[in-house]
Amino acid sequence: MWGWRCSRVQEVQEVQEVHAGTCDVLLVAAEWRARALLRALLIDKGIDVRACDRWVHARRRLAEGRLHPRAAVVDLIGLHDPEDTLRTLAQLVPSERVMVLTGSGALPVGAIERLGYSTVLARPLMLREVVAKTIELLERTTRTF
């Protein structure tokens, strides 16, 4: 947990299964408080975010060609088999368009970088740092994939 506070009502309002279409950021994070707060802050910056709590939902939409984000933010904490998630993600989203968040109990930064991901943030995280890095990531991407 990142220590962020958010009400359960916000989570209920958040769509659990990511819907098809084009968006700025695909956010995959198992922890509902962190996901809801990060999503809200990105939306507040004018960023179109599709969020989900399970990689399986996002993977299905990406594989079907029904979801086209400019970038992806994946929080490994709480995801089932983080290494497999990143290996599969690399087949669907160019690694230079992905930011990986990690921490205790997930993959270490070095292992993530060896899988080809260069934008990696490790806990403890400052929320403004995650938002700023997401904006930087979007500025580097000019089109969807």
pLDDT tens digit sequence for 76-111: 999 989 999 999 999 999 999 999 999 988 999 999
**Within a domain: residue 93?**
yes
Domain-embedded: residue 1:
no
Query: For the segment 7-31, what is each residue's pLDDT rounded down to a tens digit?
Result: 444 443 344 445 667 899 999 999 9
Report how many domains make up the chain.
1
Residue 3 belongs to some domain of the structure: no
Residue 2 lies in a domain: no
What Å distances lie between residue 56 and 37, 60, 80, 84, CA to CA?
A: 21, 6, 10, 11
Neighbouring residues of 143: CB distance < 8 A, sequence distance ≥ 6: 70
Write down the residue that tokens 């400019």 correspond to: 70
CATH number for the domain that contains residue 51? 3.40.50.2300
- Asked if residue 145 is part of any domain, the answer here is no
Question: Is 135 within a domain?
Answer: yes
Which residues form the domain of 25? 8-140
Kindly report whether the peptide bond that precedes residue 82 is cis, defined as omega within 30 degrees of 0. no
Give pTM, 2 decimals.
Answer: 0.85
